[in-house]
């Protein structure tokens, strides 16, 4: 504040407290001084004590952004982010509060759980009638860094690999380093991981100490003061292979002939050099200085057995054998030498075997051998067709035939012959088959087998033919003809028993007999039907006629082509019968109604007793003769009844009945019998004492009458 030469008062940076009354006096020494009062009013525009602020907060914490504006009321405050109104999608997560105080307005924007995406430049603008002012707040939300990206393999060898990555976003907090984790891909997920740490300045790493031919999985984490990031994408790397470092074990060599040996071995101990693709089997003649000759054995062609056959060798010569594995990088160390000597002689060749003779219990075989190798002996193997195990016998070398004894009768056998010498067994001969003589038992005729009485039957076991092979045992079952279940006599009857008696049989009864005979060749069953004699010693009728008739009828009914039409015809007949019966009943009712209407006018008088003997049918030879009348009887309890007025319907062709009334509202129909001849179709006359002289003709109409009595004849 200062005064100018002209007396003006200048106030720089006027403030609210500068407002008030100011007194200005002017004096020049002449006369009284002049004075004037001036009032100063100060209008304050919005202003902030601090125009820029930096706010740092950790992710998921609460943050409050505050703007305290001073100035003349009324004041308004609006919020922006990056100089744009705040997006409504995130505005729902924000809370806005305002508080009016004596010098202005305080506005607060709070975020209860701040996210990393909330980081940015916020601004609040205060305004009133005298101006506007803005304040900026830089919000920094700190979080763990993002995952490294851009995993790239730079170099791979059998023991180490080198790869790089791209530095990720730091999460508003400086990255302090990187963590590399890895393990073998075939290991379980819960196995511990190998860990390597590198500084934040490095984005490349070389991992050493790896195994050859092994697949690894690598991941990278970034880290800052707030924590560790999620792992990066996997980097899967397979190290290069190395030649095997261990030799095969347990090498064994077996001479097979004078020119061939078999070599077997076990795989080398497991190493981390890669997968073995095969083996080199080396051999050299110890009688010469020749180098090893190697035979390659592909592992994919081996049938889970490590072995190799080496042929074209020299007879009775010693060889040194060695084995070494190989993979894509080369061969590994060789095994220790194994010495083997080829045979002096080869195993014999297969004999030619044939059958020359057979009997019930033996088979004779003969063979020939076309070969120069010495033969020490033969091994003869044989088994029956139904047998599971083979029998074996040794035959001296000088023999060219053999008889195999103690065989089963009527049984087929299979034979093979193998020659052997010091070099071992040769290949077996082709299999030959032969059957011993004999067959299954043969059943006898019933007449030869059975001796039958009224209460027992004798079975002659000796009547069976053994078929060339002795019968071992019999089985006998029997039952009455109409019984379903068999009665077991015995299931193991020795042939020496000769006869078997079936006792306690019913006289005059048909029986079924079931027998089975067993020998070494086979079993035979036979079934017989027989009938016991009656008590008087007579035979019973054969079952052939009745059984054949019943069987024939039963077989006919079993044929659908016959059975179905019969059933359909029966159903149709039943339906037609029912329909006809219903129609007849309905017509009967209609006729009864018509007759009742006709009787209502013809009946009269008071009912009296009527004799049933007087109601009959006239013989057509003489209609007027009562002696030829044929009575009709209608019995009632105690052979008497009381009938009321009787009348005959005038229309006899429809009614065919006599009507009677009991005086109590009941009517009874008494049917007439029809005439036996053509024109005599009228009803029979009702004869009474009052009408002895009434003429009778073919159209007789009976009138109502009174009767005194009714007797049943």
Q: Are 324 and 249 in contact (CB under 8 A)?
A: no
Lowest mean pLDDT among 109-118, 377-386, 677-686: 677-686
Enter the tokens of residue 645: 């007025």
Q: Nearest 5°: phi and psi at 188?
A: -65, 155
pLDDT in tens, 35-56: 888 888 888 889 999 999 999 9
Query: Which residues 6+ apart lie within 8 Å of 348 measured at CB?
Result: 369, 371, 373, 375, 419, 420, 421, 426
pLDDT at 300: 80
> Is pLDDT of 697 > 50?
no
Predicted pLDDT of residue 228: 92
What are the structural domains of the chain? 2-40 (no CATH), 47-142 (2.60.40.10), 149-239 (2.60.40.10), 249-341 (2.60.40.10), 352-435 (2.60.40.10), 446-531 (2.60.40.10)
- The more confident residue out of 124 and 3 is 124
pLDDT digits (tens, 9 = 90+) for 231-285: 999 999 999 888 888 899 999 999 988 899 999 999 988 776 777 889 999 999 9
**Residues 75-82, mean pLDDT to the nearest whole number:** 91
Contact 458, 412 (CB under 8 A): no
Q: Across the strands, what pairs with 487?
A: 478
**Digit-coded pLDDT (tens) for 472-529:** 999 999 999 989 999 999 999 999 999 999 999 999 999 999 999 999 989 999 999 9
Does residue 101 or residue 606 have the better pLDDT? Answer: 101
User: How many angstroms separate the Cα of 183 from the Cα of each of 147, 151, 429, 593, 594?
Assistant: 19, 17, 60, 113, 116
Whether 598 has a pLDDT exceeding 80, the answer reads: no
Higher model confidence: residue 134 or residue 693?
134
Q: Cβ distance 265 to 336 under 8 Å?
A: no
The predicted structure's pLDDT at residue 509: 93
pLDDT at res. 6:
78
> Maximum Cα–Cα distance for the chain, whole Å?
201
Reported as a single tens digit per residue, the pLDDT across 464-473 is 999 999 999 9
Does the pLDDT at position 131 exceed 60?
A: yes
Which of the residue ranges 131-145, 258-272, 665-679 would you say has the lowest mean pLDDT? Answer: 665-679
What per-residue confidence (pLDDT) applies to 691?
A: 42
Asked if residue 668 has pLDDT above 80, the reply is no
Task: Please enumerate in sequence order all residues whose Cβ is within 8 A of that of 661, keeping only pairs 6 or more positions apart, or say none.
Answer: 599, 603, 607, 644, 645, 667
- 17 pLDDT tier (thresholds 50, 70, 90): confident
Closest Cα to residue 523, out of 408, 439, 438, 440?
440
What is the rounded CA–CA span in Å between residue 11 and residue 71? 19
Comparing 478-492, 588-602, 620-634, which segment has the lowest mean pLDDT?
Answer: 620-634
Q: Give 526's strand partners.
A: 515
Q: E-strand spans in 277-428?
A: 278-285, 293-298, 307-310, 318-327, 330-331, 338-341, 352-358, 363-368, 377-384, 391-396, 401-404, 412-421, 424-425
Pairwise CA distance, residues 273 & 243, whole Å: 6
Q: Would you state the pLDDT for residue 559?
A: 64
Three-state SS for 45? coil
Mean pLDDT across the stretch 402-412?
Answer: 93
Give a three-class secondary structure readout of 419-453. EEECCEECCCCCCEEEECCCCCCECCCHHHHEEEC
Give me the pLDDT at residue 41, please.
84
pLDDT band at 688 (very low <50, low <70, confident <90, very high): very low
Residue-wise pLDDT tens digits, 421-448 = 887 888 899 999 999 999 999 999 999 9
What is the number of other CB atoms lying within 10 angstroms of the CB of residue 467? 19
Q: Nearest 5°: CA angle at 34, between 29 and 35?
A: 135
Cα-only R_g, the chain: 67
Q: At what angle do helices 544-558 and 560-602 cross, to 10 degrees?
A: 80
- Per-residue confidence band for 565, with pLDDT thresholds at 50, 70 and 90: confident
213's tokens? 């031919």
Q: Model confidence over 157-188: pLDDT tens digits?
A: 989 999 999 999 998 899 999 999 999 876 76
Rounded-to-integer distance, Cα 327 and Cα 124, Å = 73
Give the residue with greater pLDDT, 709 vs 533.
533
Q: Please tell me the distance from the alpha carbon of residue 462 to that of residue 442, in angstroms, as a whole number.
A: 11
- The pTM assigned to this predicted structure is 0.44
Q: How does strand 52-58 pair with strand 131-142?
A: parallel
Read off the pLDDT of each residue in 644-655 and give the average, rounded to a whole number.
Answer: 41
126, 132 contact by CB (below 8 A): yes
Q: Kindly tell me if the per-residue pLDDT of 286 is higher than 50.
A: yes
Angle at 272 between CA 266 and CA 278, to 5 degrees: 40
Assigned token pair, 612: 């049933």
Q: In the structure, what pLDDT confidence band is assigned to residue 649 with cuts at 50, 70 and 90?
A: very low
- What does the alpha-carbon distance between residue 156 and residue 225 come to, in Å, rounded to a whole number? 33
Structure tokens at 321: 């054998």
Preceding amide of 630 cis, omega within 30: no
In this prediction, residue 5 carries a pLDDT of 76
pLDDT per position as a tens digit, 333-342 = 999 999 999 9
Name the percent of the chain lying above pLDDT 70. 79
Mean pLDDT for the chain? 81
Confidence of residue 461 (pLDDT cuts 50, 70, 90): very high
DSSP result, 161-230: EEEEEE-----SS-EEEEEEEEEETTS-TTSPPEEEEEETT--EEEE-SPPTT-EEEEEEEEEETTEEPP
Give me 111's structure tokens: 């975020």
CB 313 within 8 A of CB 319: yes
The structure tokens listed for 568 are 């359909």
User: Residue range 136-157: average pLDDT?
Assistant: 93
Residue 544 has a CB neighbour count (10 Å cut-off) of 9
pLDDT digits (tens, 9 = 90+) for 358-391: 999 999 999 998 867 788 899 999 999 887 788 8
> Please, which residues have CB within 8 angstroms of residue 92's CB and are 6 or more apart in sequence?
none
The pLDDT value recorded for residue 702 is 36
């Amino acid at each position: 504040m200062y005064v100018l030469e002209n007396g003006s008062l200048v106030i720089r940076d006027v403030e609210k407290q500068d407002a008030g009354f100011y007194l200005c006096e002017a004096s020049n020494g002449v006369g009284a001084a002049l004075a004037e009062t001036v009032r100063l009013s100060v209008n304050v525009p919005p202003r902030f004590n601090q125009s820029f602020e930096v706010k740092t907060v950790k992710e998921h914490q609460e943050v409050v952004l505050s703007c305290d504006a001073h100035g003349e009321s009324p004041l308004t405050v609006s919020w922006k982010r990056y100089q744009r109104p705040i997006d409504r999608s995130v505005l729902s997560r924000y809370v806005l509060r305002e508080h009016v105080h004596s010098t202005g307005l305080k506005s607060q924007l709070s975020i209860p759980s701040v996210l990393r995406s909330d980081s940015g430049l916020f601004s609040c603008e205060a305004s009133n009638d005298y101006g506007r002012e803005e304040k900026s707040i830089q919000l920094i939300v700190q979080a763990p860094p993002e995952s490294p990206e851009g995993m790239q393999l730079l170099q791979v060898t059998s023991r180490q690999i080198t790869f790089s990555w791209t530095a990720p976003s730091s999460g508003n907090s400086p990255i302090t380093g990187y963590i590399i984790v890895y393990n073998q891909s075939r290991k379980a997920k819960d196995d511990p991981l190998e860990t390597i740490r590198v500084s934040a300045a490095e984005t490349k790493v070389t991992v050493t100490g790896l195994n050859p031919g092994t697949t690894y999985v690598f991941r990278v984490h970034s880290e800052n003061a707030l924590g560790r990031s999620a792992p990066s994408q996997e980097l899967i790397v397979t190290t290069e292979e190395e030649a095997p470092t261990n030799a095969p074990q347990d090498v064994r060599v077996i001479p097979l002939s004078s020119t061939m040996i078999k070599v077997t071995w076990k795989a080398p101990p497991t190493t981390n050099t890669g997968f073995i693709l095969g083996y080199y089997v080396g051999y050299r003649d110890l009688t010469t200085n020749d180098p090893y000759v190697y035979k390659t054995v592909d592992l994919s062609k081996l049938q889970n057995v490590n072995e190799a056959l080496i042929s074209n060798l020299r007879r009775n010569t010693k060889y040194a054998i060695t084995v070494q594995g190989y993979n894509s990088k080369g061969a590994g160390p060789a095994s220790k030498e194994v010495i083997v000597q080829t045979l002096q002689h080869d195993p014999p060749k297969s004999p030619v075997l044939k059958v020359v003779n057979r009997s019930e219990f033996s088979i004779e075989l003969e063979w020939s051998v076309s070969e120069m190798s010495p033969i020490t002996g033969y091994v003869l193997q044989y088994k029956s067709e139904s047998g599971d195990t083979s029998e074996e016998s040794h035959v001296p070398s000088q023999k060219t035939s053999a008889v195999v004894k103690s065989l089963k009768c009527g049984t087929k056998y299979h034979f093979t012959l193998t020659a052997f010498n010091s070099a071992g067994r040769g290949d077996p001969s082709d299999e030959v088959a032969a059957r011993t003589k004999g067959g299954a038992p043969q059943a006898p005729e019933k007449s030869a087998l059975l001796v039958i009485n009224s209460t027992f039957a004798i079975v002659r076991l000796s009547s069976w033919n053994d078929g060339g092979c002795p019968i071992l045992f019999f089985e006998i079952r029997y039952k009455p003809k109409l019984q379903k279940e068999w009665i077991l006599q015995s299931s193991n009857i020795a042939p020496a028993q000769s006869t078997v008696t079936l006792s306690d049989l019913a006289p005059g009864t048909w029986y079924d007999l079931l027998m089975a005979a067993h020998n070494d060749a086979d079993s035979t069953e036979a079934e017989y039907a027989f009938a016991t004699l009656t008590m008087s010693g007579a035979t019973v009728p054969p079952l052939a006629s009745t059984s054949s008739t019943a069987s024939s009828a039963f077989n006919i009914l079993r044929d659908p082509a016959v059975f179905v039409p019969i059933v359909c015809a029966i159903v149709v007949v039943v339906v037609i019968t029912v329909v006809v019966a219903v129609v007849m009943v309905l017509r009967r009712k209609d006729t009864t109604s018509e007759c009742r209407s006709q009787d209502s006018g013809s009946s009269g008088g008071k009912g009296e007793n009527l004799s049933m003997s007087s109601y009959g049918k006239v013989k057509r030879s003489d209609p007027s003769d009562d002696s030829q009348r044929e009575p009709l009887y209608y019995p009632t309890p105690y052979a008497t009844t009381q009938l009321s007025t009787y009348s005959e319907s005038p229309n006899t062709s429809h009614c065919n009945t006599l009507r009677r009334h009991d005086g109590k509202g009941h009517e009874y129909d008494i049917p007439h019998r029809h005439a036996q001849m053509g024109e005599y179709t009228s009803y029979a006359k009702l004869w009474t004492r009052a009408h002895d002289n009434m003429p009778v003709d073919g159209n007789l109409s009976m009138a109502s009458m009174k009767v005194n009595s009714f007797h049943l004849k």
